């Protein structure tokens, strides 16, 4: 049983945790959160995986406007593309929206009717 879940679909690795100290040549002690109190904090290196951060996914905090509860409001910047999805009985118009504080690769397809009702200023052309 791995971290409270049973079966082959349970997560192999959980979280990113800070290393407190090197206990021996092949074991390290980690800082674990309160919900993992039942787990011993010393792990063999074969059970650990190096955490590599993706520099493209890191957003600068300056000018982000993070609230006290560590959230921020996402606002659309512009519409990049349009398409019509044809289903069996109907057609759905979708738009590709570039959101503030996201890269162009992170633009998402949204329903055009929903975007028109929530953000009419994007369609004023």
What's the pLDDT score for residue 102?
78
The pairing of beta strand 27-30 with beta strand 19-24? antiparallel
**Residue 61 CB coordination number (10 Å):** 9
Residue 119 has pLDDT above 80, yes or no: yes
Domain boundaries, the chain: 13-51, 74-123
**Residue 107 CB coordination number (10 Å):** 19
pLDDT in tens, 74-85: 888 889 999 999
**Residue 36 CB coordination number (10 Å):** 15
Q: Which two tokens stand for residue 45?
A: 């290196």
What's the pLDDT score for residue 112?
92
The pairing of beta strand 42-44 with beta strand 27-30? antiparallel
Q: What are phi and psi of 40, to 5 degrees?
A: -70, 135
Q: What single-letter DSSP state applies at residue 48? A: -
What's the pLDDT score for residue 9?
65
Closest CA to 20 of 1, 36, 42: 42
What's the pLDDT score for residue 50?
83
pLDDT in tens, 3-52: 555 666 666 777 788 899 999 999 999 998 887 888 889 999 998 988 77
74-123 is classed CATH 2.40.50: yes
Three-state DSSP state, 34: helix
CA separation for the pair 37, 4 (Å, rounded): 12
pLDDT in tens, 64-114: 555 666 666 788 888 999 999 998 999 999 999 988 877 788 888 999 999
């Amino acid at each position: 049983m791995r971290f409270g879940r049973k079966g082959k679909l349970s997560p192999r690795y959980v979280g990113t945790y800070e290393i407190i100290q090197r206990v021996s040549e092949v074991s390290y002690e980690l800082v674990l959160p309160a919900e993992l109190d039942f787990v011993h904090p010393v792990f063999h290196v074969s059970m650990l995986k190096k955490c590599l951060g993706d520099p493209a996914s890191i957003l600068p905090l300056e000018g982000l406007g993070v609230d006290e509860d560590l959230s921020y409001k996402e606002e659309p910047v512009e519409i990049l593309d349009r398409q019509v999805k044809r289903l069996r009985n109907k057609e759905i118009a979708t738009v590709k929206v570039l959101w503030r504080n996201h890269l162009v690769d992170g633009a998402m397809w949204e329903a055009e009717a929903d975007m028109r009702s929530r953000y009419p200023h994007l369609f004023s052309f």
